[in-house]
A and B are shown apart, each in its own frame.
Chain A
């Protein structure tokens, strides 16, 4: 016979008292663990929500940026770089420059760490007579975008025209019945029609695009261009243009910079505003979640001590009931010579056991209840209590929380049961046996 045997058999004999004690501890530790887990779930939800919103914002902004870039392309370009001696009256009248500059200007720009511009498109444009077709067209030689080399690569805005191919504006291919893939002859050279554009309602409809080097050859302007289109300028607003202009003119002194398309600037400004609003909304959401967390924390900080105190009182009362029921047993054990400290150990061990079992069950109950309420609160966003718990995952020190629950519950039970235990050990066996 050991004290442990005695303890186990007593528990089995007085199951109700033990079960009620365990239940009290389950409620106390379950409430505490549940509150902690609920706050963890809240944090996990907040992170998930904000991450989703951030991703959505990033996607929206990317889409908006792309739309703006496309709008820039269609509405005109932010700036166009022309040779310094180009007469702007002529340029506005003809819509292309009559003066030329070296093609390597664009490479100098690309290598010069220009911070305000992201894309450079060199071109050679000239109004010509298509001799084979007897039509006046605008011939554009383009070699595609020259990437800004010090930035991360960006999606090209304009697809380059490959050598040996030609892209035709709407009016040209419609009126001449030319189809994509056909071969056409331009100034004695054969080209394959790479694309036939849809109607745009501007001079693009009578424009033919070919590879820049071929255009330079046909127009007898080797290594010459007459415009560099600077796309997607990052500076917007009234002060934007002087910054871009100063930056470009510093690198290419023999050029002039002309603003194109104020609608585009408006769009870019709108894009920035949308981004600002979206970010403000995200911050508001973050603040709202933080406020909600604080409310829950305050609520838990008031409720949990009340519950724990009530449970401690319950454990104390059950402890007294147990001591009272075992009065005769204490008397006879003393008469048998069992020492007071062993009776102390026996009663305290019972409280430790109540606490350890209650703490373990309370931990499980708290986590499950938190998972359930986490699910109920977030409704369709959640896929069940277990999913909520697994969602918290590695963010929570589960083992630590379990140990804290078990150790804390055992301590609570021992503290709550301390007075009844002291009463038990101070029972006078003579009084008990005489009263029997």
Chain B
């Protein structure tokens, strides 16, 4: 479902203030692995080892310097930006440590924000009443069922500032699942949660995996990695174990 083949990523930086000469920082070095459907792969490593770069590269947001990535059979970087966005919308769901909810939208609206990306008719997307169109109806129904499933029914009309951290992460997870993606990319999804909430989130992720989904989880936390079906260890941009 998700495959990395000798993927490297480096960034150009000025090496020093004194001579201003350009240098190169390698974030990923010839990384190769694959994640199959029904698998939760945890990538562990210390801060700055390239985990987030790996995740963003996998999500089609950061073009690798070398190597090839395949998501659901397609190399996102061989697609033009428009199609790459479409691939991301339909195939990939993101979950971040900081939740990244839109602060002025309610729980329901934050979840439905993911539907903005999947509809093709731009005019209809701009003006049409959210619940007056088949796609919108479908998205609304799906959002409703996710709200119920994630125990957010009584918080559906609240904005993120009115939610607990656990509720925020559940909202972010529901948003990631709205378009029924094939892959979920999770960056420290439980980093800000207490044990109970972390367990709840992993419960949902495990459910998603058992339903045939595929999760790439990057974390520095051994407890989080314990929920994975497989774990790989990273250090200085390389897979070390």
Is B208 in contact with chain A by the CB < 8 A criterion? no
| In the complex, chain B residues 110-137 whose Cβ is within 8 Å of any chain A Cβ | 112-118, 122, 125-130, 136
> Contacts A338-B117, A434-B53; is A5 near B130 (CB within 8 Å)?
yes
Q: Is the CB of B98 within 8 A of A9?
A: no
B49 contacts the other chain (Cβ, under 8 Å)?
no
Task: Encode A393-436 as 1/0 by CB contact (under 8 A) with B.
Answer: 00000000000000000000000000000000000011001101
A337 near B85 with CB under 8 A, answer yes
Interface-central residue, B61, B101, B139, by most chain A CB under 10 Å: B61
Contact present for B86 and A332 (CB under 8 Å) = no
CB distance from A408 to the nearest CB of B (A): 23
Check B88 for interface membership: any CB of A closer than 8 A.
yes
| Interface presence of B33 (CB below 8 A) | no
Using a Cβ–Cβ cut-off of 8 Å, how many residues does chain B contribute to the interface with A? 43
Are B139's CB and A1's CB within 8 A? yes
When distances are taken between beta carbons in the complex, the residues of chain B under 8 Å from A433 are 52, 56, 61, 96, 100
A68-B9 Cα distance, complex, nearest whole Å: 107
A3 and B126: CB pair below 8 A? yes
The reply to whether the CB of B102 lies closer than 8 angstroms to some CB of chain A is: yes
The reply to whether the CB of B59 lies closer than 8 angstroms to some CB of chain A is yes
For B116, list chain A residues within 8 Å (CB).
1-3, 6, 333, 336, 338, 342
In the bound assembly, the distance between CA atoms of A380 and B54 in angstroms comes to 78
Looking at the assembled complex, report how far the CB atom of B26 sits from the nearest CB atom of chain A, in whole angstroms: 16
Report chain B residues within 8 Å CB of A338.
Answer: 85, 89, 116-117
> Out of B53, B94, B103, which one reaches A336, CB within 8 Å?
B94
Does A13 reach chain B (CB closer than 8 Å)?
Answer: yes
| Interface members, chain A 18-69 (any B CB < 8 Å) | none
Given A1-B139, A2-B128, A5-B109, check contact A339 B85 (CB 8 Å).
Answer: yes
Q: How far is the CA of A434 from the CA of B56 in the complex (A)?
A: 8
Question: What are 8 A-B interface contacts by the 8 Å CB criterion?
Answer: A6-B105, A6-B116, A9-B104, A329-B103, A332-B94, A342-B122, A430-B56, A430-B61
For the A-B complex with A1-B115, A2-B128, A337-B86 known, give 11 more contacts whose Cβ atoms are closer than 8 Å. A1-B112, A3-B116, A6-B116, A332-B94, A334-B85, A335-B100, A337-B87, A337-B118, A339-B86, A341-B122, A434-B53
Residues on B lying within 8 angstroms of A by beta carbon are: 52-53, 56, 59, 61-62, 81-82, 85-90, 92, 94, 96, 98, 100-105, 109, 112-118, 122, 125-130, 136, 139, 175, 179
